[in-house]
Copies of this chain bind each other. A is one copy, B any other.
Amino acid sequence: MAISTRGRYGVRALLAIVKANGPLSTAHISKLEDISLPYLEQIFNKLKRAGIVRAKRGAQGGYLLSRSADTISVGEIIGILDGPVKFSQCHHPDHEEECEKRDICASRRFWSDLENDVNSKLHKTSLQDLKNIETGLIEKVQAHDGETNLLRS
C-alpha cells in the first residue's frame, strides 16, 4: 500500500548494481548500503522472480540487471516490493463494493488525482535517471569543495 523501507532498499540496492557495472553479491551490497544481509536476500528474491534481475551463482557471482537501467523505473521496483501505491481504495476497478456516489465524490476524485501524480513520477524515473542525478550531486559537492579550498588558500 505505502512505500516502505523494503521498496526503498530495493531501489538503493539496484542503483548500487548500476554503479558497479558488473555482478554484485548481496554480501557486498549489504556492506555498501548498510542493509541487513538476510533482509536484502529476501528483497532480491522478489526482484528475481519478477524478472528485474538475474543471478550469477558461485564464486565471484552476484546479481545483475536483466534489462538496461533506463528501462527499469522506480515505480516498477516499488510495485514489486511494496505493492501498488494507493492513497484510497474506492476508486480502483477491483474494488467490489461499488459506491453509488462514485461519480460525484470530490474526495475520491482528489485522492485518485494525487495517486496518478505520484505514480506518474514513479514510473517516469528510471535507475539510469537516478544514476545521473547522483553524478550531478557529486559534481556539485566537488565544485563546492573547490570553492572552499580557494577561500582557504
Complex interface: chain B residues within 8 A of A74 (CB): 110
Complex interface: chain B residues within 8 A of A1 (CB): 2
* Of A11, A104, A118, A141, most B-chain CB atoms within 10 Å: A104
Size of A's binding interface in residues, CB under 8 A: 31
Give, as a whole number of angstroms, the nearest-CB distance from A91 to chain B: 11
Complex interface: chain B residues within 8 A of A103 (CB): 137, 141
Cα–Cα, bound, A71→B12 (Å)? 39
Interface segment, one of A45-53, A60-68, A127-135: A127-135
Q: Is A37 an interface residue (CB 8 A)?
A: no
Complex interface: chain B residues within 8 A of A134 (CB): 104-106
Cα–Cα, bound, A107→B3 (Å)? 13
What is the 8 Å Cβ interface bit string for chain A, positions 9-27, against chain B (1 contact, 0 not)?
Answer: 0011001000000000000
Give, as a whole number of angstroms, the nearest-CB distance from A92 to chain B: 14
Assuming A111-B8, A117-B117, A121-B114, is B2 touching A137 (CB within 8 A)? no
Instruction: Jot down 22 A-B pairs with beta carbons below 8 A, ordered by A.
Output: A2-B2, A3-B87, A3-B111, A8-B87, A8-B88, A8-B111, A11-B107, A12-B107, A15-B106, A74-B110, A103-B137, A103-B141, A104-B134, A106-B131, A106-B137, A107-B130, A109-B133, A109-B137, A110-B125, A114-B122, A117-B118, A117-B121
Residues of A with Cβ closer than 8 Å to B?
1-3, 8, 11-12, 15, 74, 87-88, 103-107, 109-111, 114, 117-118, 121-122, 125, 130-131, 133-134, 137-138, 141
